[in-house]
Structure 1
């Protein structure tokens, strides 16, 4: 008797990359308005050609769902969000007014207690780095904290470390709303570097 998988099993090393490549390939014809990220698909629909954004959104959804049905891609209805002006994506809220950090993640960072060991520092920087695009000169600000992660570094929480810790928290609580990229406008790369930090951003 021969057993054969009908779906991709969890736990295979290449499963996420293979799945992502498959979804991206199958939905390539709608990626202008429905980009995907692994098992998430985001449908954004502006008003155009005399139609309201709601009418355009319905058309986009019909095209996407028809394509998913054709290729036997299934969605969990309980996890779907339809017809809203803002959705959560990768720790951010994306909507018609721009991109802003998830208030819950900002709250967690702003209430984070003073760090007492390397493990706590890694946890803090892991979450903060996830939202670093909202903090100006992030790499420079966290330098005193990064020094504590060096292999031979002794754990010593100084006033400079506390200042860097507070600067990151304050930077996120005052985070700007970023504009959504316009695919029809030119992009440019902005880079900056110093003796101890380097940064790069894709901007319009």
Structure 2
């Protein structure tokens, strides 16, 4: 597919999703990435099931003339990097390198630096409990007519986000075979 066309990414993603629809239960795709996950079932080990899944996926790719770059393939790993996170059988956690960058971020001195910090922090916000409420003092500095004043409340918010990410939990993947509850928090100025 030609690169640079306005709708090329969406068209490509739609095409790959359609071609791989028969394996989406164990091999979901995101643009040109395919993630195969397997677990032991019917007396077979997780490795045996994984090999079967790989055979099905690779057969389907061969049939539709889709090619894999072997240098980018990760096979049989217990944890893989996906979109800035590490995903494994125990759940999802933030990429330690991204957490390190945030934890070492120097105190902010202007709106541009604040936007850069919040851009990365917000990408990982699912790991910080009550993130939206914690960043409220920082968000106030982004308002159109706001004067830049880095006060103690801003520093506390900045430190709370950094602390929250360095102590980030592993987010468990929901077991679809068991009941689970979703708990959501909301207030007058934040959700999440």
TM over 0.5: yes
- Residue 117 (structure 2) aligns with: 124
SS of corresponding position for 1:191: coil
Equivalent residues, number: 192
CA RMSD, 1 decimal: 1.2
- Residue 154 (structure 2) aligns with: 161
TM-score, normalised relative to structure 2 = 0.96
Answer yes or no: is the 8 Å Cα contact 2:92–2:173 preserved in 1: yes
How far is 1:188 from its partner?
Answer: 5.1
Describe the superposition over 1:127-186 as per-residue Cα deviations: whole angstroms up to 9, x where unpaired: 111110110000000000011111111111111000000000000011111111233445
How far is 1:190 from its partner?
Answer: 3.7
Higher RCO (CA-CA < 8 Å; seq separation 6+): 2
For 1:15 and 1:185, how far apart are their aligned partners in 2?
A: 39
- Residue 172 (structure 1) aligns with: 165
How far is 1:192 from its partner?
Answer: 2.6
For 1:18 and 1:110, how far apart are their aligned partners in 2?
A: 38
For 2:172 and 2:184, how far apart are their aligned partners in 1?
A: 19
For 2:18 and 2:178, how far apart are their aligned partners in 1?
A: 25
1:11–1:188 CA distance, 2 compared to 1 (3 A):
farther
How far is 1:18 from its partner?
Answer: 0.7
2:183 to 168, 187, 190: 190
For 2:150 and 2:8, how far apart are their aligned partners in 1?
A: 41
For 2:11 and 2:2, how far apart are their aligned partners in 1?
A: 12
Describe the superposition over 1:44-68 as per-residue Cα deviations: whole angstroms up to 9, x where unpaired: 0101111111111000000001111
Unpaired runs of at least 5, structure 1: 1-7, 200-204
Unpaired runs of at least 5, structure 2: none
Describe the superposition over 1:3-27 as per-residue Cα deviations: whole angstroms up to 9, x where unpaired: xxxxx11111111111111111111
How far is 1:189 from its partner?
Answer: 4.6
Answer yes or no: is the 8 Å Cα contact 2:130–2:191 preserved in 1: no
For 1:189 and 1:138, how far apart are their aligned partners in 2?
A: 17
Answer yes or no: is the 8 Å Cα contact 2:26–2:38 preserved in 1: yes
SS of corresponding position for 2:175: coil
1:150 to 130, 136, 143: 143
For 2:122 and 2:186, how far apart are their aligned partners in 1?
A: 18
- Residue 19 (structure 1) aligns with: 12
